Amino acid sequence: MLVGGATCIGEAHKRNGIPLQDAFKVFGNSTQKYVIAIVSDGAGSARHAEIGSDRICSIFTDEVRRLCEESQTVSFDKFKETTSFAIQSARRSLVDDGYSLADCHATIVATLAFDDRCFLVHLGDGLQVVLIREPSGAIAACVSEPENGDAANETFFYTEDDWHSHLRITEIPRDVLACFLMSDGMEEFVWNPKTGLKLPFCRPLLQNARQAVISGQDLNEILSEIVSDERTNQFTNDDKTLCLVLRDSAPVTIHEAGNNLNQYIIRNGHPVKFSPSADTPAPPRVQQRTSPQSVSNTLPQRPTAKPPTGVHSNSLGAPDSEESWATEGYKRSSRLVSFFLGLAIYFIGLGSGYFLNELERDPPWVVKDGSAKTSSSVAEKESEKAKLGSDITDQSQKQENGVATSTSSPSKDVERTKGTSPTGTDKANVSTPSSAAKVVSDSKTPYPTNASNAPSKSTPSDAAKESVSTPPSVSKGTKVDTPNPTKASNAPPKSAPTDAAEKIGR
Amino acid sequence: MSDINFEGNSRQRTPCVLVLDCSGSMDGSPISELNAGLREFKKSLSEDPVAMTSVSVCIVSVGGPSNSADVMMDFVDAIDFEPADLKADGSTPLGEGIIMALDKIEEFKAEAKIHDNRYTRPWLFVMSDGEPTDDAHVWSEAVRRSMEAETGKKAVIFSIAIGKANTSKLQEITQKSVAQMSGIRFKEFFVWLSGSLSKASKTTEGTDVQLPPRDSWSFVSGG
């Protein structure tokens, strides 16, 4: 799995001398094959919001890592316990440091993703989208929406007394293909509550990410270019953070699903089918206004019910059954409809690639379930990884004003944070490109205990194993440690990519 | 590298109602400063691409030639906001103006909900240089409605005293301290306001927004 992230201070924050209040942290463990990503958005109305957001990112990552290292298989119940514990610990540590919790208000959007399932945590606003493969092979998007108060700038924070009543934890027992986590500054580019997922944003993002992996470019660069893109400033002046989790080095793009991507909104831990509706025009200006009474019967209703405030508890269980995640009947009819729709549009000359893909023709680089793959796809993946490996040392430090990035490639165990970690635990253990290939090929084997520290077993690919040492200089506020000495190292140490952990703007 | 489409939802609005005292006592330099301030407000909003399309402004004038409270300008996006020329005259039916402003806010919210548009918590600014001249029951109704809106988190209310205004009356409509404008610094105030509106910082349901320092126009830090 591949994970990366980037954050960019908002224009309004710059203008008003407010620090970057978003924080994120990502961690990838290629041995145990899991990825942790968390984004936290500090409230502009809170004096030390940047402390609150940073604190939860560090503590959550540490606690979930510990959980994964201690357990062979992480149960959903254990994950829920750990999440609650992490939040309580973060709250306690803020108070211990002399902060008032009300001064440290921050939201949480987080995930712990394995190949075949993931756990989502959501408290407050921000957005999380998980692309999954349904048992039928179809690709679907599961969306965890923001929870707002009556007004759009009112939301809920882990630092509030009733945090537990707004904490939403969900298990998605499906193959995970990709996962987007973001603060509300990026939300509107990815999701429209009426029309659903914004494919013109998501598709190129995944394409570019794939391209980056193939060419050995850092995923960070892609993400930091996105969050700091000038065009975002037309719509938001808030801090913007985006983390991306991708399955393997050959991410499946939404192209495969065509325009008929199934979309679900997560409600109370269960997927609710999302039906896009036509977007109404932007709010009419006063000249065109009509009275509420005269228009009330003609306007389309929001397709899905707003999540009731305060109903989300951390008792959200795992879905009762597999059926709760996808009903075969629905899928069949949907696929039939998409088939004929695709065929029709194809024949009138608008279709082409998307709809051929809808007929279940996987592109050669798609790896299903991490095991069933053709020899050509393996060969291609291996060659991609070889490229990636050779480029590891070529990655240069990226220094962009106000932008912090962080990534973990498929070939690395990396933990990065954007900012100063109060616990000082930022580490980067960078392993080999070939070990990532092993992640794929070994995906059916049970997780080894204490795998993060265990030397990899000898495989033909071990010849390419490399250790990556501490970079000569690290940007402010972040420490990158040497890799675990127990890691097998058959090749001379190289400089670690120094692009990952930067924090500017605090 | 494929080009990514950045298309915002463009549906969120930050409503802001200004209740402006245009009574006879504002005649002369205060009213011309107020008009200049409004023009500066327009200019500042126009310079901020986000504010230009997300801030909705409504102006209620109090007093003036009609000697009553009037919705001088209904809610309009900042991009279309054209400041009219205010004229000072008559008395100060401030309570009537406040009730009218709160009604406009409710109307705005109702309409936004119908259109499924998002809005940040509405802002209400009441600016006066004198005492309200409403009947006692009108003023007490205005006070009741203001407190209800403030405690119910329906709106953020700011009370601003211009010159030697009676702050005790203005204090009745909000739990926050009345801000006292130092001199007649409308321009500074409106520049500050456009920046604050653009920010519309995230908050809980239970607390008020934290605003940037008001030193540029106020000598009372306020609440």
Q: What is the pLDDT of residues A42-97, one digit of tens each?
A: 988 788 999 999 999 999 999 999 999 998 899 999 999 999 999 999 999 999 99
Please report where in the chains the tokens 């979930």 appear, as a residue. Answer: A64
Burial of A115 (0-12, 13-18, 19+ CB in 10 A): buried
Amino acid at A313: S
Instruction: Tell me the average pLDDT across A337-364.
Output: 38
Contact A92, A147 (CB under 8 A): no
Q: Is residue B20 pLDDT above 50, yes or no?
A: yes
Does the ipTM surpass 0.85?
no
Which residue is listed with tokens 């968390």?
A: A38
Mean pLDDT of chain B: 83
What is the C-alpha to C-alpha distance for residues B115 and A157, in angstroms, rounded to an integer? Answer: 28
pLDDT, mean of residues A355-372: 28
Coil vs helix vs strand at A358: helix
Contact A154 B153 (CB under 8 A): yes
Q: Which pLDDT band holds residue A304 (cuts at 50, 70, 90)?
A: very low
CB-based contact (8 Å) between A296 and chain B? Answer: yes
Chain B segment 46-75 residues within 8 A of A by beta carbon are 48-50, 56, 74-75
A19 CB neighbour count, 10 Å cutoff: 16
> Across residues B80-101, what is the average pLDDT?
92
Helices of type H across A9-138: 11-15, 49-70, 76-96
Residue B211: pLDDT band with limits 50, 70, 90:
low
CA distance A155 to A151: 8
- Would you state the pLDDT for residue A221? 87
Q: Of A112-121, A201-210, A292-301, B203-212, which range is least confident?
A: A292-301
Interface of A with B in 76-135 (CB under 8 A): 102, 105, 125
Say yes or no for a CB contact (<8 Å) between A153 and B200: yes
The pLDDT tens digits of the residues spanning A119-154 come to 999 999 999 999 998 888 888 999 999 998 877 878
CA distance A295 to chain B (A): 8
Q: Give the contacts of A81 (CB within 8 A, at least 6 positions apart).
A: none
pLDDT of res. B28: 87
Please report which confidence band the pLDDT of residue B9 belongs to, taking 50, 70 and 90 as the band edges. confident
Q: Is the pLDDT of residue A411 over 80?
A: no
Spell out a b/e string for B154-187, using b for 16 or more CB atoms within 10 Å of the CB, else e: bbbbbbbbbeebebebbebbbebebbbbbebbbb
Token couple for A352: 């082409």
> Which positions in chain A touch B195 (Cβ < 8 Å)?
12, 15-16
Is the predicted pLDDT of residue A220 greater than 80, yes or no? yes
pLDDT at A496: 35
The answer to whether residues A234 and B198 touch, using CB atoms and an 8 Å cutoff, is no
Residues of A in contact with B153 (CB under 8 A): 149-150, 154
Please state, in angstroms and rounded to a whole number, the distance separating the CA atoms of residues A389 and A409.
Answer: 10
Closest to A120 (Cα-Cα) out of A171, A74, A192, A70? A171
CB pairs under 8 A between A and B: 157
Nearest CA in chain A to B10: A282
- Shortest Cα–Cα distance, A44 to chain B (Å): 5
Burial class (CB in 10 A: 0-12, 13-18, 19+), A98: exposed
Token representation of residue A179: 């996962």
Q: H or E segment at A415?
A: strand A413-417
Single out the residue of A12, A101, A5 nearest to residue A49, CA to CA: A101
Among B50, B115, B4, B9, which Cα is nearest to A192's? B9
Question: What's at B145, amino acid-wise?
Answer: R
Give B3: exposed, middle or buried? Use CB within 10 Å, 0-12, 13-18, 19+: exposed
pLDDT confidence band for A325 (50 / 70 / 90): low
* Interface residue of B3, B4, B52, B209 to substitute, partner A, most A CBs within 10 Å: B4
Is A234 an interface residue toward B (CB < 8 Å)?
yes
Q: How far is A190 from chain B (nearest CA, A)?
A: 9
CB contact under 8 A, B116 and A280: yes
Q: Which residue has the higher pLDDT, B205 or A430?
A: B205
Q: State how far Cα A350 lies from the chain centre.
A: 32
Q: Say which residue, A204 or A362, is predicted with more confidence.
A: A204
The confidence score (pLDDT) of residue B203 equals 63
Percentage of chain B modeled with pLDDT above 70:
82
**Lowest model confidence (mean pLDDT) among A126-135, B99-108, B164-173:** B164-173
